[in-house]
Chains A and B, each alone.
Chain A
Amino acid sequence: MVDQLSPLAPVLRPGRHALADHSVGVTLTETQPGSIVQLAAWRGEEGALIAAIREVAGLALPDGAGGGVSTEAKAGFGFAPGKFLVVDQDEGLAAAFAKAVAPETGTVTDLSHGRTAIRIAGPKAEWVLAKFFATDFSLPAFPLGSGISTVHHDIFAQIQRSGADEFDVYVFRSFARSFWKSLCHASEEVGYEVL
C-alpha cells in the first residue's frame, strides 16, 4: 500500500505542554489507523450491512442511532441513517469489505487516506470537546462505543467515545492540521500532552 503521510507532521510537537502546576488535563494522539472505511446500506439493507461488518471486522454493532463498538485495534459506529464508519489499525479493510458487501446491499468507500484520526483522552476531554461542538458529551447522552456526526464551523467531524474519558475524532484530512492547531490551543487551558 502507499504510505500514509500525516498532515499533522509539520505542527505535531510531542511532549508535555502542562500547566504551571505540571498537571495535564488531556492527551492528544494521532492514532493513524491503516484503514478507515465508510459503509452505506441501501434502504432496507441495514441489517445485511451490519451482518457484513460483523463478518469482516468482527464487530457486533448494537442497534440504534449512533450505536458502535470500540476495541484496541478496531472500531465501528453508525454516524447517519444506514451509514457506518469502520476503522482498523491494519490496512486492507476496504478490500475485505468490497468482497463481502454485495452491490445490492450497499456501498464501500475507502477513506483511509481521506480522514485523520485524533484521539483526545483524559479527565478534561469532554470539557475541551465541548468548546468545539454544540453537542452533549456527557456519558448518559453519549454512551461508550457510540458515535456522532457534528461540525465545528466548516470542519465536519465524526466522533466516537472509545472510553469513559476518551474520544476518537475523525476529520477531513485537508482540515486536520487546522483542527489540530485549534485543539492544542483549546487544550492549553487544562494542560495537554501530545503522545
Chain B
Amino acid sequence: MNSPVDELGIGLICFPGMETAVQSLSGHIDLVEIEPQTSWFTESPESDSFRFDPQFAATLIAMPQPKVFHGVGFPIGSTLLPPKSHFETLNAHIDAVKPIYTSEHLSFNRYCNTEGSVHQTNFLLPPLQNQKGVETAVRAIHHYKQQTGKPFAFETGVNYLRCRPDEMEDGEFIARIAEESDAYILLDLHNLLANQLNGRQPVNDLLQQLPAERIIEIHLAGGSWYQDYYLDAHSGVSSPELLALTDTIVRDLPCLKSIVFEVLPDYFGQGFTESDLRRQLEAMKKIWDHRNATAAHRRRYERIKSRRPVDNSLIPEVWEFALGNIANSGSNEDIPLQHELLQDPGVAIIRNLIFEFRASMLVSGLKMTCRLVKLQMGTQRFHQLLKDYCATHESEIFGYASALRFAKFLEEQQLNIPYLQGMLDFELSAAQTYIDGKIRTLHLSFDPFLLLDNLVHWQNPPPQLSSTIQYQVEIHPDAPITDKDALLRFNAVAHM
C-alpha cells in the first residue's frame, strides 16, 4: 500500500528560473513541486546517463516548504521502462531534495519500431485505453514505486485524439490503473477540462468513475485555443470556468492533500506577471478551504464502473508504434490503425506542436547561432532548414543533447555564413561550462560582443566586423559580479 501522505495545501511548480517568484510569494505557497528532469543534463545525444544541477537542488533545499517531485520525460503509460540510470539519478536527486512523494504522467513518449529501435516523440501521447493498456501502466507504476520506494501518484493526461468507439472510457481507464497498481491519482483538472472541451469525456462524468479517495493532488493551469483545440499550454492563470469547476469538485474529495499551479517560466515577461501568480494562488487558497466539505453520505463521487464494451484485442506495443510513428510525421496507410489515426484531426495538432517543441529547443539551445542563420538566410529558408532537420534527425528530450545534434547538422550543411562556426563554438562551450562548471577559453577571430550586440538587435553583422585580432574569450561559471565588471552574464537555463 502507498504510505499515507499528510495534508500539504497550495503549491506551485518551480522550474529553474522561478526561484525568485517562489521566494517572494513564499507566504502563499505551502509546498514546492519540482519537475526534476528539467534540471538534469545529458552529456551527449548517445548518453543514457544523467546529472542533476546541484545549484538548483541547493536552492530548493533551502526553501522552507515541503517538496514533491513530478517526473517528466519518463511517463508510466509506456511499455518501455526507463533506463536504470534514470532511477539512479532520480534517487540521488530524491536523497538530496527529499520530496514527500513522486508522480509521473499516464502517457508515453517513446516507441519501438518494427526493427526494434526506440524513438522519442518529445510529446506526451495518450496510451492505449483497454485492459492491456491498464496492465502496461500498472507494470510501469510497480516498477517506479519499487525503484524509488516513495509513495506514487500518476497524473491524468491530456488527449487531443477523438474517442475511439471500442476504447475504455477515460474515467474507467484511470480508475482501474489506480486500483490495480494501488497508486494515488494526481487529478490534472486543466488536462481533463481540455479533454472535455476537445470532445472527450465530460469532467463530471469522468469523476463519477474514479475512486475519489485516491485523489491526493489537483493540478491547475491556464491554456489557450489553437485551431479549434483547447491546449494544455500552461500559459497563464486558470479560467474562471476551471476555478469554478475545481471549487465544486474539491468539496467531494475526502483525501485531497494539495492543489498545485503549473505555469511555464517562458510566460513571465510575456504578459504573465507576479501579481497574476499571486491572484491565482489566492483563488486556489479559497478553493482549498472548501476541500472535503461535503458530508460523507452526500458525496457525489462513488466509483461507478463503466459498462461500455471494450476491444481488448489491440496490444499497447502496436498502439505506441502506430501513434508514435504518426506523431513523428511518419505514416503507413496500409496499417489499419495508422490509417484510422490519420483520419483524426487531432493528429495534425500533435504534429504541429511537436515541431514547435523541437524548434523551440533548438532556437533556445543555440539562440544566437539560430538568429545569425535566420538573419543570413531569411525566415522562410531558416524554417525550412528546421523542418528538414526535424524530418531527418531523431528527437531529443534534453536540451543540450538537442543543441549538440543540431550543431553537427549545421556544420554539415556548409552554409557559408560568416561567424557561424565561432558562434556555434561559443554557445556550445557556454552550455558545457554551465553543465560541468569548468572554465573554458575560446579563441575567436571576431569580437563576440559586437556580434552579439548585432544579433541582440536583430541586425545582420557587417562584414568588416571580421578582424585579424584573435579574441580570447573566457567562459566561466557565474560568480557574484559588480557593475564595474566588464562581464557578460547570461543564463544557461530559460528564465523570466
A and B assemble together: no
